Amino acid sequence: MFLSMRDADSVISTMKNEIKMYERDHIEILRAQSSHTFPLHSHESFCFGIVRSGEVCFRIGDQEETLTKGMVYVIPSNVGVTISAQERYEYITVCLKNRHRDCMAKYQITNFFPKEMEEKKFIQLCDEYYNKASSTYFMEGVHALLAPVMSQHIVKDNSIDFVEEAKTYIRNHIHDTFNLKEVAEAVHVSKFHLIRNFKQQVGVTPNQFYIQCKIFGVKQALKENMKETDLAVDFNFSDQSYLCNLFKKQMGITMKDFKRNFEQH
């Protein structure tokens, strides 16, 4: 069962890091207690959330803030994120994917650490969605929550074609060993030109994006009950131990815990 939002303050976990995940209709809610430091990464989904307890430092793009109870963060798609902590913290994050992510593209967000979002309304909205409120109802609530920090703007396609092509190439080769030269040659640019423009547009380097894509593939395979030993071979990791360590570094929990704590409807 998904970890109740209302019971968050009373939870006592025996695990160092615990993440409960619930996903339905391209909306994912993560409820976590952690002391994990997450390396630089980016999301293709649009994410926002709130710290429920503890203290944690977020760096989103070129903005950095130390967050404590009740403070909010917004992570647009393709923006670099680093999360670091010295103590245990608790948070709730909503990830909007596919069409829900796309509908957020018309908004411009200049402050990734707004103070206007109400904690109680946010938690109530997550509870209602878990209890089978519709995605339409949920997204209406999201727009109401974030309206004070978002300004609508004319959507301009600032994407660079060869970066999008490189992303597609990398996604199609996650079972192979990463080779920057091959990626650059596939999109007909120099390695330097690719790295510089890729990070500007995606928030991470091509190699970091490749790792993210591999971990995403592993996550999808875990949901289908694929064995860890088979995953290491299928995704071309040197061995199972390396895969396990990389997964925990990127996700904050083990693959076994991920399988146990994921709930999808």
pLDDT tens digit sequence for 188-238 = 999 999 999 999 999 999 999 999 999 999 999 998 888 888 999 999 998
Do residue 61 and residue 124 come from a single domain? Answer: yes
CB atoms within 10 A of CB 179: 13
Gyration radius of the chain's alpha carbons = 19
Q: Are 60 and 112 spatial neighbours (Cβ–Cβ below 8 Å)?
A: yes
Q: Which domain holds residue 221?
A: 161-264
Picking from 85, 118, 152, the residue at the C-terminal end of a domain is 152
- CATH number of the structural domain spanning residue 78: 2.60.120.10
Q: For 114-164, what is each residue's pLDDT tens digit?
A: 887 788 899 999 999 999 999 999 999 999 988 877 775 545 555 679 999
Closest CA to 43 of 56, 54, 24, 30: 30
Same domain, 101 and 168: no
The CATH number linked to 254 is 1.10.10.60
Domain final position from 152, 181, 198 = 152
Q: Please give the tally of structural domains in the chain.
A: 2
On whether residue 97 sits in a domain, the answer given is yes
Full-model pTM: 0.86
